[in-house]
Amino acid sequence: MATVSIMPCLDLKDGRVVKGVQFVQLVDAGDPVEVAKAYAADGARELALLDITATWERRESAYAVLERVAAAVPEVAITYGGGIASKVAAQAALAAGASRVSVGSAAVRTPALVSELAEAFGPERVVVAFDVEPSDETPSGYEVLIDGGRTRTGLDLVHAALDVRRRGAGYLLPTSKRADGAKQGYDTALIALLKERVGLPVIASGGAGQLEHFLAAAQAGADTLLAASVFHFGEIRISQLAEYLLQHGVCVR
């Protein structure tokens, strides 16, 4: 039986949870502490907390928000990202309560950072997040984006993912810009490609809108199912999703 984790994602902007479509059109989705507590009460044991504008705005990450959320839900493992561009920043996030740190743009701009973090904290604490979009100009068919999806790199996704695996990353978190917030389903071809070609655990992200979408991602090889708006706005509950997956042969950690 396949086994997955369910990971509600709290995108942060100005200290609030927000959600958008294709990384824009952001709407308020609540106070992060209250949202996290509600998810924990419904059975969530993992959360992603992502400061989505820290890198673009060139500012320090929202460690104070992380600290408040971690204190409110100590039973929940938090993957924290946004503005993590150095060992010092990663250490600050871990000290504030994160179980893992997620690096995105910084991993592309400074690949050696992945090695440094893996050596300092262990691969199990290092997630590399890739924002991507389909491309006919790259061998894998996917191009890596940075700066919250604003900047094209010309970098092939599989090439980049193999490099961070070699450097010690423990997890991959690919998000399809085209699918993000559209609720039309995860890019299952993207998930399957990374599992086959790279082999690291994959956190599926971008596009969940129905129970069936989560099942399809699990069947494509995702190890963790990340989603935001369907949870934030009450369309799907964590407990409901866990029961549905179990009924279809997928066990939830």
Tokens describing residue 104:
């995105």
Residue 131 annotated to the active site: yes
At 32-47, the pLDDT tens digits run 999 999 999 999 999 9
Buried b (16+ CB within 10 A) or exposed e, 222-245: bbbbbbbbbbbeeebbbeebbebb
**H or E segment at 110?**
none
At 120-155, the pLDDT tens digits run 999 999 999 999 999 999 999 999 999 878 899 999
Would you call 14 exposed, middle or buried from its count of C-beta atoms within 10 A (0-12, 13-18, 19+)?
exposed
The residue from 131, 156, 180, 223 that is catalytic is 131
At 196-223, the pLDDT tens digits run 999 999 999 998 999 999 999 999 999 9
pLDDT on residue 170: 98
pTM, two decimals, is: 0.91
**H or E segment at 175?**
strand 171-176
Tokens describing residue 84:
């993590």
Q: How confident is the model at residue 11 (pLDDT cuts 50, 70, 90)?
A: confident
Domain that holds residue 54: 2-252
Of 34, 68, 80, 29, nearest to 228 by C-alpha is: 29
At 44-102, the pLDDT tens digits run 999 999 887 665 555 456 898 999 999 999 999 999 998 899 999 999 999 999 999 99
**H or E segment at 10?**
strand 2-13
Residue 136 annotated to the active site: no
The residue from 11, 51, 180, 223 that is catalytic is 11
Averaged pLDDT of the chain: 90
**H or E segment at 74?**
none
Q: Are 88 and 68 in contact (CB under 8 A)?
A: no
**Domain harbouring 180, CATH code:** 3.20.20.70
How far is the CA of 166 from the CAs of 42, 115, 117, 173, in angstroms? 37, 8, 13, 16
Domain count, the chain: 1
